[in-house]
Chain A
Amino acid sequence: MSDTGFLSARFRRGDMTPMEKIWQMSWSLLFWVSCIFAFGFAMLYSAGNGTDGPGSFQPWAIPQLIRFIIGLGMVTAIALIDVRLLLRYAYIFYAVVLVLLVAVDVKGIIGGGAQRWIDFGFINLQPSELMKPALVLALARYFHGVGTEEIGRPSILVVPIIMTMVPVALVVKQPDLGTALLIMASAGGLLFIAGIRMWKFGLAILGGIGAAWGVWPVLHDYQRNRVLTFLDPERDSLGAGYHILQSQIALGSGGLFGKGYLAGTQSHLNFLPERQTDFIFTMLAEELGMVGGLALLALYVIVLIYGYAIAFRCRHQFGRLVAMGLTTGFFLYFFINIAMVMGLLPVVGVTLPFISYGGTALLTLMLCVGLIMNVHVHRDVQMAMRGGFTDF
């Protein structure tokens, strides 16, 4: 430990041993993530129906725990990968996921119905989920080589916009507007961090609103309805209004301290839809009250701060962009879900990170944690613009 100079030099060069890398991992970040998961585990236990009343490890809590443990292994494994390899293979990874997305679409067309996943036997993989980290990596790779003066050029935006819009279009076609918006928003966040001029964002947003405004009046009624239903899938059916109302009743009736663990009437008497996935926050807030909700938010904010801190500590642009992009995506995840169940946003299918039941979502999240961890471990590695070793 006395030879810190030697060590830091090796850190800069990135040729650490696996044990050194494990030593460098942010175990406290994993601790907080595990705290969130533990919270989720407890809620999934509550969501399960036991033989006498609510509370069961099956069918949700235990499978999810197994996935989380696998996920922890994955985080470690990813953290050990040389960050330069990530940089080098970022585009290839992106391309592979894009192909999977197309495959899902093609399969959907052949199968005659909308499908979002590919069955690999052991897991139903949703490429749209994987696209989030893949796009972040690809965009980070792209902007890693772009200097501050180049960033002002409009031409620099062509490639990232194409890179973003192609998967977004594919996901929209599935149709999965929620995920598409999430992909677009996290890409936007990354572009913002990368240093795209503010006015260009303003212009894009205005342009988007303007386009919608201009096209709206010329649309036929059925087209408008299609769009509205698209934005809000269960619009004007009894369903959407009913679900969101029941969700608000559950939340509100929970009050400050909740109805007690396993004692959420709205949740357990089935007034609440999807209590193990999209509406799990509602059940949490019904049973544990505002106190429980705030506790979860606090945990999320802690993880968020870790993400920021890792981005700040990182010495290379690629790492910073990856960390910020993924952190922004993580924020959007829980923000949209909680805002949705509280009636602030329309119902879109976005799950609550680390809490909702679901394999792909959890493993994707663990993949993201792994990437952030990787950035953390390799924070001092000096990287050339195109991913080679920097020469001193």
Chain B
Amino acid sequence: MIITRDSDWTKMFTRRAAILGGTQAALVATLIGRMYYLQVIQSDKYKMLSDENRISTQLLPPPRGRILDRFGQPLAYNKQQFQVLVIPEQAPKISNTLDALAQLIDLSEHDRERIKKEVQRKRSFVPVTIKETLTWDEMSRIQVNAPDLPGIIIDEGLTRFYPQGDLASHLMGYVGAVDEDDLSGDPVLQLPGFKIGKDGAEKIYELTLRGKGGTKEVEVNAVGRSIRELERHEGESGNDVVLTIDERIQRFTAERLGGESAAVVVMDVHTGDLLAMVSNPSFDANAFSRGLTTEEWKGLIGNDHNPLINKVISGTYSPGSTFKLVVTLAALEHNVISPDQTLFCAGHDPKIPAFHCHKVHGSVSMVRAISTSCDVYFFEVARRLGPDKIAAMARRLGLGAVSGIGLPSEKVGLIPTEAWKKSARKGERWTPGETLNMGIGQGYVSVTPIQLATMVSRVANGSVAVKPRLVRPAISRNITTPVTEDEHVGGLESLDIPAEHLAILRQGMFDVINGPPGATTAMQFGRLRFKDPERKDWTMSGKTGTAAVRSFTPAEREQYKRNPDTLPWRLRDNAFFVCFAPSHAPRYAIAVAVEHVEIGGGGGATAAPIARDIMEEVLRLDPSHKPRVESEQVATAEGNHT
């Protein structure tokens, strides 16, 4: 009985166990199938996802290229900078750490608030910046006290530095944080703290200077903490930009200008190289790079000498008598007067007596009219030419058009024509008086100093349409050959001005400085010659210009003559001087514009001596005939600065 029951039970047990075992085998097979699916069939997909999880690609900012002067002197480079940061997770009590740190460096309440906010917002292992641009002292104080400052680290970074301070700031521009509008698809722009050129050369050569961002792959864990660096692809650092500027001439010019509100352009008449381009007063580009304080900003904005404006390209002035170069060449071309023919100057225009000359010159020929700057002569010539012929010549000499160097906010100025007046002044007709005004570079005529430099260069180089150039072409690594006339830019158009015409004009300009007494503006006789004994035999040629900012009534004129101090600075005349040297083989041209000079201090008295001193320095240094230095030397030069 028991046996039977037991065997029945055993049979059933065997059957049931087999079913159970079979089911379990099937389920284990399912597990294996799933394992195969995940680990073999789908493995590649999951490997990719796993890498995406753990590998975080981070951008590396490329080091910005330097800006060098023509001989490799650095005008802008990246300087190592120290900043102090705190890693919250390593600082058990942030406020205690900050208290301790505040004993060592300046830490405002505002800074502390910002740090606390950032600490709360970010993950505890992400460093928070406490202070940028530490001084060496501050850094060493922190280093010494490091044991008492848990979580505090010092980090090195690169910051843009302009070793020459406020020298050439207008030209260099500055770098600043990326704005919404600047985003162009280059991912490095999205990097926090990345800076790009905001003005000047920094802006126009941004792409050259910027370089290409690198990447590094970092293994991160689930909360984003970096565990280790896996791979690093260095980007390309930005290329250096070599300017045509000669830092020494730039500096000499800036120092020579002193406190004047002025603009000076020094240009190679053949190549168009801008050897100096000074707008005075200037500002410290470094301050822009690190961010201006409110006081600094107010100081710059409130200054009536407009330090922020680059007067070389953005200052528009009536050129005064310097414009007579244009009128002379137009007169010769259109043959409205023979060079030998004399006109009589009785101190005012014979037809419109209200138009005065600054002197009674008597009978003047063309050369003498230029060297004495006789207005009456040019009134008559202008009358014979009419505004449009003068305007055409002005344009040929480079006035009324942008220079092409590409700096932001360059002004065009204005070269008026009859048609222009009609459209700009609601059909008003051109008046004869306006022609006379135009003949002496007053009235509507308005030019920039860089245009004046272009004009005088074109006169000096034998009427080749040279253009100002800010950057040296073909930045090659080992140029040791002198830069001479052969770099003389080929392919420039000729302006087709006959040599005889230029000879007459240049004779006039020569006499301005070197002419016999009475043939020049007498006041200046002899004073504009070079003083340096080595260059005693060298001469320069030039033209003065003085332009009224406002016309005064005779009564006002009398009053201001008696009490010069009562004339507000803003209403005083502007003084100009354009020149080239050496007279026998012109190479360098200079245009000087000095705003609002003292009474009696016109182009000849104020602007010309400045030009003479600069020209003497330019001739001494003679940058156009010097070889460029090799890049290794450039590197050493920079090393000395850091």
Instruction: Give A residues with C-beta under 8 Å from B.
Output: 147-148, 189, 192-193, 195, 246, 248-256, 265-266, 268-271, 285, 289-290, 293-294, 297, 300-301, 304, 308, 311-312, 317, 320, 324, 328, 331, 335, 338-339, 342-344
Assess whether A252 is in contact with B45, with CB atoms less than 8 Å apart.
yes
Asked if B500 CB lies within 8 Å of chain A CBs, one says no
Query: CB-nearest residue of chain B relative to A255?
Result: B43
Among candidates A255, A270, A308, residue contacting B17 with C-beta atoms closer than 8 Å:
A308
Docked complex: B16-66 residues within 8 A CB-CB of A: 16-17, 19-21, 24, 27-28, 30-32, 34-36, 38-40, 42-43, 45-47, 49-51, 53-54
Which secondary structure dominates where chain B touches chain A? helix
Taking A252-B39, A253-B49 as given, write out 6 further A-B residue pairs in contact, using a Cβ cutoff of 8 Å, ordered by the A residue number: A195-B9, A253-B51, A254-B43, A271-B53, A342-B31, A344-B34
| B residues less than 8 Å from A270 (CB atoms) | 221-223
The answer to whether A269 and B53 touch across the interface, beta carbons within 8 angstroms, is: yes
Chain B residue, CB-CB nearest to A320: B13
Given contacts A269-B221, A308-B21, A342-B35, contact A256 B40 (CB under 8 A): yes
- Residues of chain A within 8 A (CB-CB) of B158 are none
**A249 and B39 contacting across the interface, CB-CB below 8 Å:** no
Chain A residue contacts of B32, Cβ below 8 A: 294, 297
* Interface residues contributed by chain B, number (CB under 8 Å): 39
Contact of A290 among B30, B39, B54 (CB under 8 A): B39
> Chain A binding site: helix, strand, loop or mixed by DSSP?
helix
Asked if B220 CB lies within 8 Å of chain A CBs, one says yes
Instruction: Judge whether B17 and A251 touch: CB under 8 Å.
Output: no
A94 vs chain B, min Cβ distance (A) = 23
B426 within 8 A of A: no
B483 at the interface (CB under 8 A from A): no
Instruction: Check if B486 is an interface residue, CB within 8 A of chain A.
Output: no
A-B contact count (CB 8 A): 124
- Return A61 CB to nearest CB of chain B, in Å: 22
Cβ A265 vs Cβ B219 within 8 A: yes
Sampled A-B contacts (9; CB under 8 Å): A253-B50, A265-B54, A269-B222, A270-B223, A290-B39, A294-B32, A308-B17, A320-B13, A344-B34
**A290-B24 in contact (CB<8A):** no
Contact A290 B40 (CB under 8 A): yes
| Complex contact A271–B222 (CB within 8 A) | yes
**Within 8 Å CB of B13, what residues of A?**
193, 195, 311, 320
- A56 to B: closest C-beta gap in Å: 17
Shortest CB–CB separation between residue B589 and chain A, in angstroms?
Answer: 67
CA distance in complex: A311, B53 (Å): 48
Judge if B8 is at the interface, Cβ distance under 8 Å: yes
Cα(A265)–Cα(B219), bound, Å: 9
B9 and A255 contact, CB distance less than 8 A: no
Given A148-B8, A253-B43, A297-B28, are A193 and B38 also a contact pair (CB < 8 Å)? Answer: no
- Tell me the smallest distance from the CB of A305 to a CB of chain B, in Å: 9
B30 to chain A, nearest CB (A): 7
User: A197 → chain B, closest Cβ, in Å?
Assistant: 11
CA of A342 to CA of B220 in the docked complex: distance in angstroms? 24
Judge whether B53 and A249 touch: CB under 8 Å: yes
Q: Pick the most buried of A249, A253, A254, A300: most chain B CB atoms within 10 A of its CB.
A: A253
Once the chains are docked, how many angstroms separate the CA of A311 from the CA of B27? 21
Which of chain B's residues have a CB closer than 8 A to the CB of A320? Answer: 13
Task: For B54, list chain A residues within 8 Å (CB).
Answer: 265-266, 269, 271
Contact in complex: B53, A301 (CB < 8 Å): no
Look across to chain A and name the residue whose beta carbon is closest to the beta carbon of B54.
Answer: A265
Residues of A within 8 A of B36 (CB): 290
**In the complex, B12 has a CB within 8 A of chain A:** yes
Residues on the A chain within 8 Å of B14, using CB: 312
Check: B599 CB closer than 8 A to any chain A CB: no
What are the residues of chain A within 8 A of B16 when measuring CB–CB?
192-193, 195
Counting CB contacts under 8 A, is B536 at the interface?
A: no
The answer for the CA separation of A211 and B45 in the assembled complex, in Å, is: 41
- Residues of B with C-beta under 8 A to A335: 24, 27-28, 31
Cβ of A297: which chain B residues have Cβ within 8 Å of it?
A: 28, 31-32
Residues of B near A249 (CB, < 8 A) are 46, 49-50, 53
Q: Which residue of A lies closest to B223 (CB)?
A: A270
- Shortest B228–chain A CB gap in Å is 10
Instruction: Determine if B419 is an interface residue (Cβ-Cβ < 8 Å).
Output: no
User: Most chain-A CB neighbours within 10 Å: which of B14, B17, B19, B223?
Assistant: B17
**Interfacial chain B residues near A254, Cβ < 8 Å:** 39, 43
Per-position contact with A for B186-222: 1 when CB-CB < 8 Å, else 0? Answer: 0000000000000000000000000000000001111
Q: Please measure, in the bound complex, the distance between the C-alpha atom of A289 and the C-alpha atom of B36, giving whole angstroms.
A: 10
Give the distance in Å from the alpha carbon of A335 to the alpha carbon of B227 in the complex. 35
| B110 is an interface residue with CB less than 8 A from chain A | no
CB closest residue in chain B, given A193 = B16
> CB-CB < 8 A to B8: which residues of A?
148
A271: chain B residues within 8 A (beta carbon): 53-54, 221-222
Complex: A346 Cα to B464 Cα, angstroms: 86
A245 to B, closest residue via Cβ? B49
Q: Contact at B39–A285, with CB atoms within 8 Å?
A: yes
Q: How far is the CA of A192 from the CA of B17 in the complex (A)?
A: 9
CB–CB A301/B28 < 8 A: yes
